[in-house]
Amino acid sequence: METNDEHIIRKSVQQISAGKRLDAFLAGYTRLDGLSRRDTRIGIEAGLVTVNGETETNPAKRLKCGDEIVSSIMPTPLPTLYPNDNLSFDVVFENDDLLAISKPAGVQMHPAGNDTTETVANWIASARPEMSSVGGDRLRPGIVHRLDRNTSGIVVLAKTDESYEILQELFRERKTEKTYLALVVGHVADLSGTIDYPLAQRTGTLQRQAIKDLDSFEGETKEAFTSYRLKERYDGCDLLEIFPKTGRTHQIRIHLAAIGHPVLGDNLYGGRRMRKAGMPERQLLHASRLSFPFKGQQMLFESPLPSDFTDFLAGIDVVEKPGYPGEASNRQGEA
């Protein structure tokens, strides 16, 4: 039985949440009261949470199926998500569990900074108000994964809490298969390859960095793996298919920059250095395909390249025969 009495939260741990940390599990519900995971952790450490009737002050405690959680952490003023009836996105797929859309470049996933009304979350609040509480975060209803503002492509949203937890586990356990298309500066040396540099936050900035020499780096890093394959060669740039195996922030953009081929138009990681006539004012990165198992079915969602991307490609020359030793080739029979 699950009930809410004023600010008291009572939850029974279901099998799908077994093994989760207490703070992570509870944060999904305390966020409904405007509390961050940090606020929830502080509340746990202050003795405001019980597990099976006993006070638990360890936020990292692993939960078991059937555990009874009671939280008396006081809420803070709730944030407001404003519906925006003027937003419209292409719906690729929808059923009772899932909603897949094609996100255009220039749109954030959820309110942040000065952008509080022109996001995917604002569209959800208007077009699918029944999803408003899915996932436990009022500002990110149903949002399990994200694309950068200036990256276009496929996004899958959860329409129920059950679907949200299933998708969370799929992304966390790397059971999703993602494909991106990226137009990069210069020509890659190999037809295909894998980049495995771990990533770290640059102190005091929004940037991350690829760490090529772990022995000389003292900060915290996270493993990251990105595979790529040459799809088409153009004058001064390559169109690559990208297959990220992990889902770190800015991972694709950082990894491609680290091997000397930043995404064209990426102002943050170096792709701004090569400008061409008619080039869109954004990084030319597109999430084209997403596949994963869901309730006994293999789901597959695709999003075609948007017109700003295809129009730009149509205006630059294809290279039929690469011209220097060691360069990757897109000649017939070698692609």
Domain co-membership, 223 together with 267 = yes
Domain co-membership, 206 together with 267 = yes
Mind listing the pLDDT tens digit for each residue in 164-186?
999 999 999 999 999 999 999 99
Domain co-membership, 99 together with 156 = yes
Residue 83 belongs to a domain = no
Domain co-membership, 191 together with 268 = yes
Average pLDDT over residues 267-296: 89
CA distance 151 to 247: 14
Domain co-membership, 49 together with 127 = no
**C-alpha atoms less than 13 angstroms from C-alpha of 27 in its C-beta half-sphere:** 14
Domain co-membership, 247 together with 191 = yes
213 is catalytic: no
Report in angstroms the alpha-carbon separations of 220 from 78, 203, 246.
Answer: 33, 11, 17
Domain span at residue 12 reads 3-71
CB 88 within 8 A of CB 45: no
Active-site annotation holder among 23, 39, 67, 148: 148
Domain co-membership, 56 together with 108 = no
Tally of domains in the chain: 3
Query: Is the pLDDT score of 328 beyond 70?
Result: no
Domain co-membership, 190 together with 292 = yes
Mind listing the pLDDT tens digit for each residue in 169-228?
999 999 999 999 999 999 999 999 999 999 998 776 778 899 998 888 888 899 999 999
Domain co-membership, 120 together with 194 = no
When pLDDT is cut at 50, 70 and 90, the band that residue 31 belongs to is low
Residue 331 DSSP symbol: S
Average pLDDT over residues 6-23: 88
Domain closes at, from 172, 194, 221:
172
Residue 310 belongs to a domain = no
Which CATH number does the domain housing residue 257 bear? 3.30.2350.10
- Give the residue, 276 or 90, on which the prediction is more confident: 90
Q: 315: which residues sit within 8 A by CB, 6+ positions away? A: 277, 278
User: How many residues does this entry show for the chain?
Assistant: 335
**pLDDT (0 to 100) of residue 322:** 52
